[in-house]
Structure 1
Amino acid sequence: MNETRELAVVTGASTGIGHELALCCARHGYDLVVAADGPDIHAAADRFRAIGVQVEAVQADLSTLHGVDELYEAIGGRPVGALLANAGRGLGDGFLDQDFTEVRQVIDTNITGTIYLVQKIGRDMVLARGGRILITGSIAGYMPGSFQAVYNGTKAFIDSFSFALRNELKDSGVTVTCLMPGPTETEFFKRAGLEDTKVGQAEKDDPAQVAQTGFDAMLRGDGDVVSGWKNKLQTMMASVTPSGVLAEMHRAQAEPGSGKN
């Protein structure tokens, strides 16, 4: 690693928003430690290296403490200028029909692994009196997610956690920003089994634009950013709409088979 450049750690960096966030970091001049749970993280790392920065790729299961420890060890004690905690997993279908092993995978990826990594790197940042943390939440955290109940619940946790941590660190020199995307054109819907739903088949946001919005907000030190005016409008409506109504609205979008004509 080039000791004259700052280091950014990006999780979920093989595809989608995480991949685009890593590209933002590389173009900004950060060296990278990137992680994902699949072998395609190594091909992604080659694309980041082509920009001219040094990249360490880590294939690890970030739903486990062991996987997070592997990633942390790969940093090698180097100060981290930016942590972009983006790794996440979704799961469609009714809660009672879901395999609980997959339910646990969603919870442990989106919450347990994320906050464990944030704690480990965040402590180092506080000691260094500086650093930026970007956590990928979701506008899904604003509404009860019928047929995505666990996923939306995890994002509600992350959205809330991000603001709480930001407040705790307000005098530390470390900023915390929560990126709240809406439906984005990524592998998420395929992996979550949501391709036959209305939301799965609808037009979605460009992950490159979403990532740039989040990256710019992180650099400014903003508390949160919702990408896209439609998503901003949706979050505003969610704050004044009864939860039962929101759940029914979400059902219309995420119920299996809702995308069939």
Structure 2
Amino acid sequence: MTKKFAIITGASTGIGLELAKLAAQDGYDLLIAADEPGIEPAAETLRDYGVLVKAVEADLSTLEGVDTLLDAVGEGRVDLLCANAGRGLGHGFLDQSVADWRRVVDTNITGTLYLLQQVLRDMVGRDDGKVLITGSIAGFIPGSFQAVYNGTKAFVDSFADAIRNELKDSKGLTITTLMPGPVETEFFARADMLDTDVGASDSKSDPADVAHDGWKALMAGEANIVSGWKNKVQATLAHVTPAAILAEQHRQMAEPGSADPE
């Protein structure tokens, strides 16, 4: 491919689709992926920007699914990767099936790490590339009734900081962590959290705004960005507030049935 080429995962809706729009506007040809058929309509929308768009429907919680995505790259050079695919899960941990919480772990951690390892090796080899990893301010907060999800995001936030340091001698490579708070996407419906205070809230961030913040930080080579001033305040307070208090605050947001009936 002669043009700039980007991979964006979790791009059928939400933050991922908005990131793909920004990449297309910036002239990147795209390989987009998600684990649902909605990735094809997303590709049609993105083609209106006049760039080449290839869509892959694959389960990115599995190594095989990530390999399917990588096979679609072929011999092309990946200039930019937005590792955005993620999965949430509400309710109490003891009420969750092993299959459900494993899929959260395998999507948010295993599949993400495998994709990053494969793409970063080539980027480091040529000392050039940009990576955006979607973490979350949830990684700073013990997630009562969302414990597995918040735990995976704590891992992702920490992991991104670690590999950024490991690869600091690759001056042409940048790794940026995007850390939003609650965003108005299908996340809460898929996580079965619409009856929670946070799921029912109408004050969630606009995914286009979050993507814009992430893209701006990515292009500037910044290490991380917390999207939204309220989330910046919450992230700062999380570092000085006792874990037990944070967990209780999260319980009030995420416990099933906590949504205001009015």
- Give, in whole Å, the separation in 1 of the partners of 2:14 and 2:148: 21
Q: Match of 1:248, SS? A: helix
Q: Match of 2:8, SS? A: strand
Partner in structure 2 of residue 143 of structure 1: 141
Partner in structure 2 of residue 4 of structure 1: 2
Gaps of 5+ in 2: none
- Give, in whole Å, the separation in 2 of the partners of 1:118 and 1:77: 17
How far off is 1:260 after superposition? 3.7
- Give, in whole Å, the separation in 1 of the partners of 2:154 and 2:176: 15
Gaps of 5+ in 1: none
% identical aligned pairs = 61
1:197-216 → structure 2 map (5 Å cutoff): 197-202=196-201, 203-216=203-216
TM-score (norm 2): 0.98
- Give, in whole Å, the separation in 2 of the partners of 1:167 and 1:24: 27
How far off is 1:224 after superposition? 0.4
Supply the AA of the counterpart residue of 1:177: T
TM-score (norm 1): 0.98
Deviation per CA, 1:135-173, whole angstroms, max 9, x where unpaired?
000000001000000000000000000111111111112
Partner in structure 2 of residue 35 of structure 1: 33
Partner in structure 2 of residue 226 of structure 1: 226
Query: How many pairs does the alignment contain?
Result: 259
- Give, in whole Å, the separation in 1 of the partners of 2:175 and 2:199: 30
- Give, in whole Å, the separation in 1 of the partners of 2:183 and 2:258: 18
Root-mean-square deviation (CA), in Å? 0.6
How far off is 1:88 after superposition? 0.2
Partner in structure 1 of residue 153 of structure 2: 155
Partner in structure 2 of residue 183 of structure 1: 182
- Give, in whole Å, the separation in 1 of the partners of 2:103 and 2:132: 22
Q: Match of 1:177, SS? A: strand
- Give, in whole Å, the separation in 1 of the partners of 2:62 and 2:12: 18
Partner in structure 2 of residue 168 of structure 1: 166
How far off is 1:4 after superposition? 2.8
Partner in structure 2 of residue 255 of structure 1: 255
Supply the AA of the counterpart residue of 1:185: E
Supply the AA of the counterpart residue of 1:73: D
Check if 1:194 corresponds to 2:190.
no
How far off is 1:63 after superposition? 0.1
Q: Match of 2:91, SS? A: coil
Moved over 3 A (4+): none
How far off is 1:77 after superposition? 1.9
Partner in structure 2 of residue 240 of structure 1: 240
Deviation per CA, 1:228-259, whole angstroms, max 9, x where unpaired?
00000000000000000000000000000000
Q: Match of 1:186, SS? A: coil
